[in-house]
Structure 1
Amino acid sequence: MAPKRKPARGAAAEERDPDGMFRGVSAFIVPQGVQGRRLEVWKQRLVQMGGRVVEKLDKGSAAAGVNHVLAMDAKALLRVLDAAWLHRFRGSVVSFEWLEECLKSGERLPERKFTINHEEEFKLKKAAGNGGSGASQPAKRSKISLRILGISREQVTRIGRSIQMQMRIKVQEASSGGPSIYAPADLNRNITKIFGRLIDIYRALGDDRRSFSYYKAIPVIEKLPFKIESAEQVKDLPTIGKSLKDHINEIVTTGKLSKLEHFENDEKSTLLQSVKPLPISTQFSFKVRTISLFGEVWGVGPATALKLYEKGHRTLDDLRKDESLTNAQRIGLKYFDDIRQRIPRHEVSEMEKFLQDVGKDILPGVIIVCGGSYRRGKASCGDMDIVITHPDGESHVGFLPKFVQRLKEINFLREDLIFSIHSVDGTDSGVDTYFGLCAYPGRELRHRIDLKVYPRNRYACGLLAWTGNDVLNRRLRLLADSKGYVLDDTGLYLATRGSGGKHAGRSDAIVNCHTEKDVFDTLGFPWLEPHERNL
């Protein structure tokens, strides 16, 4: 069970900076098409940075004191405010993107390019109401800022038509209660999922160059606010070369990628039974599958899997005869089938409660939370990621050895994989770690379990990282890097600068983040509840 969040402070004014970037902004916000929680975050940030939110508007008169109206788009705007009132209004009418981009850049940006053209939308609406037979042209919309992708103004112009076509669909979905346009879920998961699989394959083959090319492309594609339907839409994007463009074109055209299918074709039986030399392509496909299989054994990474293959091993039975395996790898091999079985959510819930009870018996007040896909609300889990701390910031020291010992005594923890203690001497950020196998009470079936104990001032980043998912973690770390930070599971740090002003690593200066929301707020990323993080 996740720790209870502290109630929001009643007055945002306690943190309000009257001279912040939104000083002088008095805004009326049109809520249509935006998730309630996200809307509240935006309002809070606007007020904290010197602005004011007007909750009610007298549509029969001039907007006294209001100088900004924010909305999702023209359609959402006209559902709440009539065209006559908007025509009289002398302030700025802008999309939420203006607010988003200001928060991301850390400065107040000119409203002009974010202006909503409500008059054009009203003309179309009126023409439709009068039974106009002419083909309606779509309402003009503010440009979607793609600076975060490193695309120049000229490149945006070239691909702008396609972007607007796709965004029209997404905005309509948002207006009917769908997700907002900020940091959308991966709309091109059909592409990024295939690229992710190719990363694993090339890593298994030891081809870091090809693996890295797909790795760089994924976050660029994830951030696109539209669904790719043509390779022409991505021809000017950074990191997307001719080869990747051809891959994307094949995926969006056929729904699959022949290269991946070639790798993953099951040629195992053919290879084992053939009496004639097989084509190189068939042998290569089998090699990929075999190395990938070895890589699923706990403790066997891509490099080790490749070495095992090169030693002549082709099956898991072959591995069992290899005397070079470490004890942890032998345990992973012994319980290979057990570890691959998913754990039902209700069993994870019962085990989390069990761990909390045992932990509090040892150390009253200890916080024990199961992260991962369980915390994100999934119906089953591959393993259990347990994140631990203590509110006083001191009592966590030395807790993990006692906790592990007690869990072994009651036959819950069965086999050890990794056990490292750093809280006592303060090394490695003072984080203690235990990886092992456990068994649901009354059973022998083994499940993977990770226990991580963090100092209180590092717990928020630890919980965030171990909750995931990997897409969100990657986005947050890239965003942190773009803002001069380094984010990992031990904290949010100020980045150090190397030659040429590039980031050289993390400094010792850690940003104080007491909650996960503090991390989101510091990075300017709207808050997502754990169940909203399945991106």
Structure 2
Amino acid sequence: MKMAAKAKPTTKEQSHPEGMFEGMVVFFVPKGVQPRRLQIWKQRMVQMGAVIEERLSKRVTHVLAVDSHTVLQEFDTYRLSRFKGDLCMLYFDLCKLKLKVLLYQWLEDSLKSGEKLSENLYVLKLDPQDESINEPDKSLDPEPTDANVSSELQKLNNKKIKSSSDDTKIVNLETNENRRENAPLSSTSIASTDGEVENLNYADRRPQHRDAENEASTLPYCPPDLNKNITEIFKKLVNIYRALGDDRRSFSYYKAISVIEKLPFKVESADQIKNLPSIGKSMKDHIQEIITTGKLLKLEHFETDEKVQTISLFGEVWGIGPATALKLYDKGHRTLDDLTNDDSLTNAQKLGLKYFDDIRQRIPRHEVQEMEHILQKVGEDVLPGVIIICGGSYRRGKATCGDIDIIITHPDGTSHKGFLPKYVKRLKDTNFLREDLIFSTHSEEGTDSGVDTYFGFCTYPGRELRHRIDLKVYPREIYAFGLVAWTGNDVLNRRLRLQAESKGFRLDDTGLFPATQGSGGKRGTKGNASLKLSTEKEVFDFLGFPWLEPHQRNL
């Protein structure tokens, strides 16, 4: 009897996006995935024919997870109740259910390609006694029938194994960061490995505190960003409305960008995202217009309006706000060169104009990291034990930064006083800090919550290109509030402030204050004394807001 030819393996199982997940009953392991992304993935799978189960059952055909460890952790309660703590029994039971446990990467790659990819290269091992538990199960890979297919499959397989390993590292970092974040910085002792307590001086503890607060800044924020045709237009509108002083509209587009850049699929119709947060009717209409025509008439109108363009341009100069930009326009100024001869500009505004092109350039993440190390080393020389953390978009894991935000304190609660002038002088002596914009000290007098501030320009070693830098020195007792505020992002800070107000408090970078009763529906003023909260997590917990690691705060 003539045998049928052995079918060649394929990496695609279905060519029609609509309904390509039909027949799948899926359970999502949420650990290690941002809730919003999880929601989007579930929505997309349902739209394409899948059924989502919120708990493990015999109906489930597929489990999606970051790695094998998170699967076993997720089913820990299930294991204890059914198998009295026997992890191997859980493994055998999952095998009986004939579940396929896949990396989330399978779903993301399928959505990106528009076709259901082969599951074989994404299968995770669950045998708890296997040391290679984090690797996809190679035993399920199809046997290649020719050299070309073998080569391509091997490349893809290696890529998936590496992805799984990297994901595991990220989850472990998140776990460690969360554990350390709960430990107060003012603690004067730690438990040694043999259970005894060791007393540590502040200098010995400093690296541990700095690493604990800053560890999450090593986790990159890498959204799919598959819809730049939309987000790039919205970014221009953010800047235009901000320059015009319309913060409400500017903020609306800013929020929409944060949602759209995280989508794991290319938007081909506004109906795909109509139920997502921050996407209202008008925003949906704009998105549909961009998808259909490749442009947005509103933006084109702004770009052909001389007044709007001029005010927007002037508003990009550091220190020039909407009102000043309008006054300069009314004076007849139309270009940046026109402003150079205007005597009404302050010294800070003149510096902003002088280095206009410099500070518009984004700073690569690795350069910010190197400059943070310089700042930490100089700070340690000036004041042993000082805590210096780079916040802002760097701490949130962004690939580039617009400026550098540095948040500083000292764990003993008093040594920070008088630190900033000495620190600035030392940084100027090394030509790291160049020109000053704002320099105010309050720590020794105790005014303005005792916060010292320096805004200015700095340079990367060996270059003259100016970057904006802000230094903020906080008393230890309010440092957590400064860290939350200067890490951001703006959307999160606004939500935290609203959450505080709903509880009768006022939140800012200097504390959480009981609010006085306002009259006529107006907001009350903040009280004199802030609550004593030592860590960022304590701030989140008190407000009843879900804890977010720094790299998760790009809302």
TM class by shorter chain equals 0.5 to 0.7
**How far did residue 416 of structure 1 move?**
0.5
**How far did residue 320 of structure 1 move?**
1.1
Equivalent position to 1:444, from 464, 469, 484 = 464
Equivalent position to 1:262, from 297, 301, 304 = 301
Tell me the distance in 1 between the aligned counterparts of 2:273 and 2:366: 47
**How far did residue 374 of structure 1 move?**
1.3
- State whether residues 204 and 306 of structure 1, in contact with CA within 8 Å, keep that contact through their aligned partners in structure 2: no
Tell me the distance in 2 between the aligned counterparts of 1:484 and 1:76: 36
- State whether residues 196 and 214 of structure 1, in contact with CA within 8 Å, keep that contact through their aligned partners in structure 2: no
Tell me the distance in 2 between the aligned counterparts of 1:238 and 1:412: 41
Alignment of 1:261-340 (within 5 A): 261-264=300-303, 282=304, 285-340=305-360
Tell me the distance in 2 between the aligned counterparts of 1:495 and 1:223: 32
**How far did residue 217 of structure 1 move?**
9.2
Other-structure match for 2:29 = 33
Equivalent position to 1:426, from 437, 446, 456 = 446
Alignment of 1:84-483 (within 5 A): 198=237, 200-202=239-241, 204-205=243-244, 212=248, 215=251, 229=270, 250=289, 257-264=296-303, 282=304, 285-483=305-503
Equivalent position to 2:55, from 73, 77, 96 = 77
User: What RMSD, in angstroms, separates the aligned Cα atoms of the two structures?
Assistant: 4.2
Other-structure match for 1:490 = 510
Unaligned runs of 5+ in 2: 1-25, 36-50, 61-167, 169-222
Change (3 A) 1:345 1:80: farther
Change (3 A) 1:501 1:441: same
Change (3 A) 1:337 1:198: closer
Change (3 A) 1:380 1:219: closer
**How far did residue 468 of structure 1 move?**
1.5
Change (3 A) 1:383 1:205: closer
Tell me the distance in 2 between the aligned counterparts of 1:296 and 1:302: 10
Read off the aligned partner of 1:308 and give its amino acid letter: L
Q: What's the secondary structure of 1:527's corresponding residue?
A: coil
Change (3 A) 1:221 1:484: farther
Tell me the distance in 1 between the aligned counterparts of 2:257 and 2:409: 36
Q: Which digits, 9 at most, give the CA deviation of each residue in 1:169-204, with x for residues without a partner?
A: xxxxxxxx9xxxxxxx99999989877755653453
Tell me the distance in 1 between the aligned counterparts of 2:224 and 2:490: 12
Q: Which digits, 9 at most, give the CA deviation of each residue in 1:196-244, with x for residues without a partner?
A: 75565345346x5xx54665798799899x999459979xx9997x977
- State whether residues 237 and 253 of structure 2, in contact with CA within 8 Å, keep that contact through their aligned partners in structure 1: no
Tell me the distance in 2 between the aligned counterparts of 1:320 and 1:246: 41
- State whether residues 408 and 472 of structure 2, in contact with CA within 8 Å, keep that contact through their aligned partners in structure 1: yes
Tell me the distance in 1 between the aligned counterparts of 2:255 and 2:327: 30
Tell me the distance in 2 between the aligned counterparts of 1:186 and 1:477: 29
**How far did residue 403 of structure 1 move?**
0.6
Equivalent position to 1:516, from 529, 536, 549 = 536
Q: Which digits, 9 at most, give the CA deviation of each residue in 1:327-379, with x for residues without a partner?
A: 11111111111112222222211211111111111111110011111111222
- State whether residues 297 and 329 of structure 1, in contact with CA within 8 Å, keep that contact through their aligned partners in structure 2: yes
Identity %: 67
**How far did residue 474 of structure 1 move?**
2.0
Tell me the distance in 1 between the aligned counterparts of 2:507 and 2:232: 24
TM-score (norm 2): 0.55
Tell me the distance in 2 between the aligned counterparts of 1:222 and 1:514: 29
Tell me the distance in 2 between the aligned counterparts of 1:232 and 1:407: 48
Read off the aligned partner of 2:54 and give its amino acid letter: A
- State whether residues 238 and 253 of structure 2, in contact with CA within 8 Å, keep that contact through their aligned partners in structure 1: no
**How far did residue 480 of structure 1 move?**
2.2
Tell me the distance in 2 between the aligned counterparts of 1:497 and 1:222: 34
Unaligned runs of 5+ in 1: 1-29, 40-72, 83-176, 178-184, 265-281
**How far did residue 80 of structure 1 move?**
7.3
- State whether residues 258 and 554 of structure 2, in contact with CA within 8 Å, keep that contact through their aligned partners in structure 1: no
Tell me the distance in 2 between the aligned counterparts of 1:414 and 1:531: 30
Tell me the distance in 1 between the aligned counterparts of 2:517 and 2:233: 35
